[in-house]
Amino acid sequence: MASARRVAVTGLGLVNPFGGDLADFFGRMLRGESAIRLYTREDDVLKPLSVPAVRCANFDADAALGRSLAYTMDRYSQLGTAAALSAWSDAGLPRTREAPRNDWGVSWGTALGGTLTFESGYIEMLRNGRERVPPLSVVLGMSNAAASHISILLGLGASSATYSVACASSAVAIGEALPKIRSGEATLMVVGGSEAPLSYGVVRAWEAMRILALGDEASAVRACRPFSSDRQGLVLGEGAGAMILEDWDHAVRRGARIYAEFAGCGSTSDHEHLVRPNVEGQTRAMRMAIQNGGLAPDEIDYVNAHGTATREGDPIEIAAIRGVFGSRSAEVAVSATKSMHAHMLGATGVIEAIITVMSLASQDAPPTAYLDDVDSECTGVRHITGGSLRSGLRAALSNSFAFGGSNTVLAFRAVH
């Protein structure tokens, strides 16, 4: 039986709230800069919104995609398609669309899909008295719309799959592409996720759970403080990220730049509770990712934590990390970058995977912003605070955990 093929990460792309390119975004992460601002929304009928959040305010869909194409997309598809095209270009792949490549595919994640399209239609009918919604509502709002657009634009003839696993959606999408390339079913996969969750109804729904962080204009920037003794909850955000995963030998033959090796993935279910996380399930997922990647726990130098800044979730994740690394836990660097880019729900996994890959490529990992006083229940690991790590990194994990008890962990190995 042939040995499994190695998988290279050859392209990275994102649409981020700072509005700059990949290097600018990662530089801001290393400096601990937060994109969180106060998001306000006034309405003649509905109660005004005012919550800390992250918006991609500088994103111009018409400029990125062309007006006629952007018109046929919900915002989540616009963000996702733009991120995928950016990753494609970063990988040095041609944009000239010839015959579809039947060994190239797309694997995408979103928790909510086209929620803005559906909410707009409901408002038009139920409040404004329209008799019907716009005729493109279904194809704009469907959860597989982003993957479909990416497949069509890039001529990807292999599988086009969309995964909706709450906050782990894009991490699952990345993980599901791994065996396709390892087995030879696919040579190249565009993977990632996108989310545009800042609709009135979605924000109000998260508010009702009482786990959103609060803040005013001045304090919003530091509203998300994972692992901090005074943390108060998560912050919602929108955005998109994409990666090009490629058969290693194929990447080498075409002279591609390789950021890192996608070594392994571990996915588990807590099988216990819809919203309460579980130490054992998270521990198993991390161990599975390490084993699946042919790594040893001693090789893992950095963990990009799920770290949402909730009272219950943060200590459980730290306990799981301690369970995996044991006596070496104090040496394993940990940071939660949601403190800066917020929680983009289904898109967060790929954003954090990109940060993890860039950390390995640059040998520098970002901090958890505004972590001034570590909660006593979150100690025992090497929290990166006050600046980037600036230390050698061999391999790293990116954790994504979701409502429903779904845990997905991605393992990456540095290329030297």
End-to-end CA distance of the chain: 29
The dihedral through the CA atoms of 351, 357, 362, 365 has a sign that is positive
Q: State the Cα–Cα distance between residues 302 and 396, nearest whole angstrom.
A: 5
Tokens 């018109």 -> residue: 71
Whole-angstrom distance, CA of residue 65 vs CA of residue 366: 31
Can you tell me the distance from the alpha carbon of 256 to that of 322, in angstroms, rounded to the nearest whole number?
37
Can you list the pairs that 297-301 forms with residues at least 24 positions away whose Cβ atoms lie under 8 Å? Answer: 297/324, 297/325, 297/326, 297/328, 298/328, 299/394, 299/395, 299/413, 300/325, 300/332, 300/394, 300/395, 300/396, 300/397, 300/411, 301/332, 301/333, 301/391, 301/392, 301/393, 301/394, 301/395, 301/396
CA dist list (Å): 62 to 59, 241, 300: 9, 18, 42
Q: Catalytic residue positions?
A: 167, 306, 343
What tokens does 375 get?
Answer: 């909660």
Q: Does domain 7-413 have CATH number 3.40.47.10?
A: yes
Residue type at 84? A
- Residue 162: strand pairing partners: 108
Give 273's strand partners: none
23 pairs with which residues across the strands? none
Return the closest-CA partner of residue 4 out of 178, 191, 176, 160.
178
The two structure tokens encoding residue 406? 């779904």
**What is the predicted pLDDT for the residue at 43?**
77
Amino acid identity, residue 48? P
**Which residues of the chain have a pLDDT value below 50?**
1
- Element holding 82 (H helix, E strand): helix 75-90
DSSP E strands: which ranges in 144-298? Answer: 160-163, 188-195, 236-237, 239-247, 260-269
For residue 16, give both structure tokens: 């981020």
C-alpha triplet 304, 306, 308: angle, nearest 5°: 130
Q: What is the DSSP letter of 218?
A: T
- CA dist., res. 9 & res. 20, Å (int): 21
8-state DSSP, 5: P
Beta-strand ranges (E) seen in 86-238 are: 104-109, 160-163, 188-195, 236-237
Tokens of 231: 């943390």
Q: For residue 100, what pLDDT is reported?
A: 73
Tokens of 244: 């090009």
CA distance 282 to 305: 11
* pLDDT value at residue 1: 39
Q: Which residues contact 219 (CB under 8 A, 6 or more apart)?
A: none
| C-alpha distances out from residue 397 to 224, 301, 306, Å | 21, 9, 10
Q: What is the Cα 172 distance to its own chain's centre?
A: 10
Contact between 32 and 367 (Cβ < 8 Å): yes
Place of tokens 């726990």: 297
Q: Where are the domains of the chain?
A: 7-413
Sheet order of strands, 236-237 included: 37-41, 49-54, 236-237
